[in-house]
Structure formats: structure tokens, C-alpha cells
Amino acid sequence: MSTGTGRRFPDGFLWGSATASYQIEGAVKEGGRGPSSWDTFSHTPGKTLNGDTGDIAVDHYHRWQEDLGHIADLGLRAYRFSTAWPRVQPGGRGPANREGLDFYSRLVDGLLERGVKPVLTLYHWDLPQDLEDAGGWTARDTAYRFADYAELMARELGDRVDLWTTLNEPWCSAYLGYGSGVHAPGRADGAAALAAVHHLNLAHGLGLQAVRSVLPSARASVTLNLHVIRPADPSSDDDRDAARRVDALANRAFTGPMLSGTYPDDLLADTAHVTDWAFVRAGDAEIAHQPLDVLGVNYYSTGLVRRWDGVGPRSEDDGHGDAAGTPWVGADDVEFVRPDGPYTAMGWNIDPGGLTDLLLRMHREHPGLPMMITENGAAFADTVSPGGAVHDPLRVDYLARHLEATGQAIDQGADVRGYFAWSLLDNFEWSFGYDRRFGLIRVDYETLERTWKDSAHWYRDVVARNGLD
Ligand code: IFM
């Protein structure tokens, strides 16, 4: 097992861990919270493993002080969390719910009292159900409602928040929510998924404008789960073209407007048989293109694709589950090939080199834009030893290798300012329910007791020494 290389990180490197509201809070009917699309989806039979829901999750809504204690004991310099839109605006529009605002205000104060920087994500997938009923992200109006919500949050929390992040992984919101249907709201409609892509880009831009209308010097970011997609046969033109097409859908559909103010021509051409993109109005891509202080990068694994020859069943398994539809809208002749292992319990391949490649690519294509790894981590089948300890050497190894890969990108010039381990706690892993555990801290789902895994002890030492041993 490798635990490190003696590597040190730059001074001021921001060490943290991340969570998301629906995955940890529970208390879905308390404090004036309204229903979200994930409440509806998870309560729909057959949508999540074992029918699991976020009703209780890990009860962070009631145990937040205990959880802040763990954050402090880990020595984390920053905590990345998301605010639940339906806790703040139960129907997704209109005046704020004071109890919801108070919850996040107390959380932020609690972090600051412990010397931990709050890194806030405004949207990590829990859309107010009323907005979903009105079309969700396929409706342009949702982007404007998001901006209202962003402004409410900025007014409430002000400069107590160190970094404002608009969206987490809009790829998942759009393509898994409306394309494949494995995430809420569970629709399988390629044209709807592309409309969602655009309205999420627009929401990002409008949201940042709204935050900065209140807080002109707010530090701002967006978090993307950028995909590292490789051709199965690098010498094949067809396979390289398959990788280009998937890259356009997965990455450039977001980095184009958000970082360059334009949609890539090849994306529009590749998907012209699915939609005419008439939902993009003049000036929209420029709105999406707001100045950013940092780009949040979420990274877990890599993908391998090739041109499907039309013979035999086409594999679309990109590791995000099987469903009625596909997230790879319009890429009907592209096939996913299972990459070499080893794999995590998600079935995702472990490929730290992909992280180095990704950070260097972003550095090359968007020079001058600092990055932070806002999520990286692994689910494994943890077991509790008779004495109560959780020995998770595979997770330690995964984290160590990816930190080393980050260091290698920094050595080659990438401007990476921080790293957030996913996740602080075991939690509700979306359609996989409570079956997949990503936490540094184990949660017993019967008692809700928290227990540090070996990886938590290890990560505390990494943070303390600002590097690997
Ligand atoms: O749990 C999720 C998180 O909500 C978003 N990024 C990927 C994680 C692991 O699947």
C-alpha cells in the first residue's frame, strides 16, 4: 500500500472536506423546508437502491454541532457544504424562510468560530419540487429563480462566506436528471437534457451576477465534474472522434459558455438531430461567462470510448448506472469500454494519472484560472472490526495516490489551491442510497453514531503536515 511520497503542498494550500445538503441533513419536513425533486424521486418506488431516501440521511440538521466538532478535530481549514434551496425558499420562489436561513447562518458562524473557512455551494441537486413541476431545468424561468435565491443567500451570509459556488456538477443535474433518468427528476429525454444544460449555464451566470450585486468582491466559483475521456484505440480516428464528442457533451458544454462565453460548434453540430438549441437566446452565453476566482474540479475516475460498429449490443455503461435513457445525448454510435481496474465499490476505475492530465489540461486551456479539487474520494465496502475500528487502507491508498497526482500537476505548473476529500461522512449516495460509503467518518445508520475511519486519522495528519508522509 502506498500512503505517500514525502510530498509537501504549497503554503496556504486549502485542506478541506465536502458534503451536500440532501445527502446529510435529513429533517426534510422540519424548519419550514419544502419538498425537493430528490424527495419526490427517492420516494418513487424503484428509483433508489433499497428504496432509500434522504428523510433522515445522517441527521446533520440536528447533529451539526457534533459534525463541526469533527471538522475542527480533523484540523480542516475549510468545509465545503451546500445549502438546500427548498429550506430557504420552500416553493423555490418568494420570500425567504427565516428558519432555513438561520440554520445556515448558525452553521457558518460555527465554522468561523472554529477557524474553518465556509465554502458554500448554492445548488447540489435538491431543486424545490414546485420548480420541478413547472419544468425544472428545462424551463428558462428556473435560472431566474436561482438568481433570486442566490441573492437571498448573499444578503443573509454576506462576507462570512469565503467562496461562493453556484452549482455542483451541472453535468449530473442535466444529463443524469433529464437524459438517463437515474437522478431526479428521472426523465429520459435527450432534448430536455440539453435544454437543462443551457439553463444551468444561464443560472450560473445570473446567480453570480446576483451574488455580486450584493457582494461586489465575493470570491466565486463553479464546480464541474470534468470527465477524462480517452479513445480505446488512440491510433483510431473513429475512436478519437468518439472521445471528442463525449468531451463536448461532458466538458465543453459547460466550460465553453462559463469560461469562454460561447458554445462549441462541434457540440451544436453533433446534437443538431436532437435539438436546434433555440432555447439559447442572444447574450445568454455571455451571461454564463462571469469572472471566476477559482474553478472547482471534481474527479473520481476516467472513461474509455470507441466508435460503436453497430454489431452486437452497444455498451453505454459509463459507471453511472443503467436507465431508460442515456446521458450521452446524440452520441448514438459511441460505445463505452470498461477501463482497466482496480475499481472502487462504485465500479469506477482508479486512475490517478487522469487527475494530473485533467489539471494540466485545464491549466493549458484556461491559463490564469486557479483550481481547487472540490471532490475526490472513494466508496469501498468498509467493515467494522470487533474493537469498533474501521480499517480502510484502500481509501487511504486512493486518497494518497490522488494527492500525489495533484502534486505532480502542481510541479508541472497547474495552479491548484486546495483539496476537499469527498466526503466528511458516509451519506446518502443518490440512487445507490446508503449502500455506498464515501466517508472519512463512518456513520452507523441505526444509531447515527459517527466513528473515525483510519482514513480520517490519516487525513488529519496529512492536513497537519501539509503533505504526504
Ligand atoms: O456523492 C456524490 C456527490 O454528491 C457529487 N459528486 C460525486 C459524489 C460521489 O458519487
Ligand 1 atom with the shortest distance to the CA of 375:
6
Active site amino acids = 169, 375
Nearest Cα residue to atom 4 of ligand 1: 20
The reply to whether 3 falls in a domain is: no
Q: What is the CATH number of the domain that holds 126?
A: 3.20.20.80
Tell me whether strands 78-82 and 450-452 are parallel, antiparallel or unpaired: unpaired
Ligand 1: residue of 318, 375, 399, 427 to mutate (most ligand atoms within 8 A of CB) is 375
**Is 155 inside a domain boundary?**
yes
In a domain, 4, yes or no: no
Instruction: Tell which one of 23, 42, 376, 429 to mutate to probe ligand 1, the residue whose CB is within 8 A of the most ligand atoms.
Output: 429
Assess whether the C-beta atom of 169 lies below 6 angstroms from ligand 1: yes
* 378 alpha carbon – ligand 1 mean position (Å): 10
The number of the ligand 1 atom at minimal distance from the alpha carbon of 125 is 4
CB count, 10 Å around CB of 52?
A: 20
If one residue of 169, 183, 424 were mutated to test the ligand 1 pocket, choosing by the most ligand atoms within 8 A of its CB, it would be: 169
Give the pLDDT score at 3: 53
Ligand 1 midpoint to CA 429 (Å): 7
Q: What is the pLDDT of residues 29-56, one digit of tens each?
A: 999 999 999 999 999 999 999 999 999 9
Report pLDDT digits (tens) over 264-313.
Answer: 999 999 999 999 999 999 999 999 999 999 999 999 999 999 999 888 87
298 CB within 6 A, ligand 1: yes
Q: Please, how many CA atoms are within 13 Å of residue 22, restricted to the half-sphere of its CB? A: 28
Domain tally, the chain? 1
> What is the atom index within ligand 1 of the atom nearest the CA of 429?
1
Write out the residue range of the structural domain in which residue 300 sits. Answer: 14-465
- Residue 104 inside a domain? The answer is yes
Binned average pLDDT, 10 residues per bin, the chain of 469 residues: 76 99 99 99 98 99 99 99 99 98 98 98 99 99 99 97 98 98 98 99 99 98 98 98 98 98 98 98 98 98 95 79 86 94 98 99 98 99 97 98 98 98 99 98 98 98 97
CA–CA distance, 387 with 135 (Å, rounded to integer): 51
Identify whether 228 is part of a domain. yes
State which ligand 1 atom lies nearest to the alpha carbon of 422. Answer: 8
Instruction: Indicate whether 9 belongs to any domain.
Output: no
The answer to the question of residue 209 being in a domain is yes
Specify the pairing of strand 294-298 against strand 163-168: unpaired
Q: Does residue 105 fall inside a structural domain?
A: yes
Closest CA to 403 of 465, 333, 334, 348: 465
Whether the CB of 422 sits within 6 Å of ligand 1 = yes
